[in-house]
Homo-oligomer: A and B are copies of this chain.
Amino acid sequence: MTAEAEFDRIDFAILGLLAKDAWLSNKQIAAAVGLAPSSCHERIKSLRARGVLLGAHAEVNLQAVGFSLEAVLFVQLGKLEVEAVDSFVSTTAAIAEVRGVFLVSGRSDLIVDVVVRDMQHLKMIISEHFNQHDVVLRVETSIVFSRQQHYTLPRPWSTAKTG
């Protein structure tokens, strides 16, 4: 609504740097974007207040702490009311082993990203939280062999408007 927020290239540079490494100090960011630390600090504070910078999360090596199996669940739901679906999404997202829930169009209705210790753990999660649920018609499971992620921001203005 009121949030007609505008950003210049310095704001985007700050966002990009923090998306790549949230542990950069304000001083480092200021130097990287060519601003005084105090000015940079004001901008970051503003980005947080405006809801553009939502927070930061540490990346934990899950294999190192014993979660060596990752899976993606494709869930088909019955034709139910929106309330029931939303409720199921929320309770699913609250499961400790679930890292993300996507409500999508297409062949399946829900995509669920799950991190578990082993196959038995995975079987338990599926049978306990999905197969026993009325809303769920069917669950397909895909094992994740490997993943690659990155945290860089795409360029905001397509390929122009910057100069």
Interface residues of A (CB under 8 A from B): 3, 5, 7, 12, 15, 18-23, 50-61, 64-67, 72, 89-90, 93-94, 96-108, 111, 115, 117, 121, 140-156, 158
Contacts and interface: CB of A to CB of B under 8 A. Distances in A.
A107 B90 CA distance: 27
Contact of A23 (B15, B55, B97): B55
Given A72-B111, A106-B141, 18 more contacts: A15-B60, A22-B58, A50-B64, A51-B61, A51-B64, A52-B60, A53-B58, A53-B61, A54-B59, A57-B57, A66-B156, A67-B154, A90-B148, A101-B149, A102-B146, A103-B146, A105-B142, A107-B140
Nearest to A100: B149
Give the top 6 A-B pairs by smallest Cβ distance, nearest first.
Answer: A18-B58, A106-B142, A22-B56, A93-B148, A96-B154, A104-B142
Nearest to A147: B102
29 contacts: A12-B65, A18-B58, A19-B58, A21-B55, A21-B57, A22-B57, A23-B55, A52-B65, A53-B59, A54-B59, A54-B61, A56-B56, A57-B59, A60-B153, A67-B154, A72-B102, A72-B104, A93-B148, A93-B149, A93-B150, A98-B150, A99-B150, A100-B149, A101-B147, A101-B148, A102-B144, A104-B142, A105-B142, A106-B143
Nearest to A146: B103
A106 B65 contact: no
* Main secondary structure on A side of the interface with B: mixed
Given A57-B59, A142-B105, A154-B96, A89 B148 contact: yes
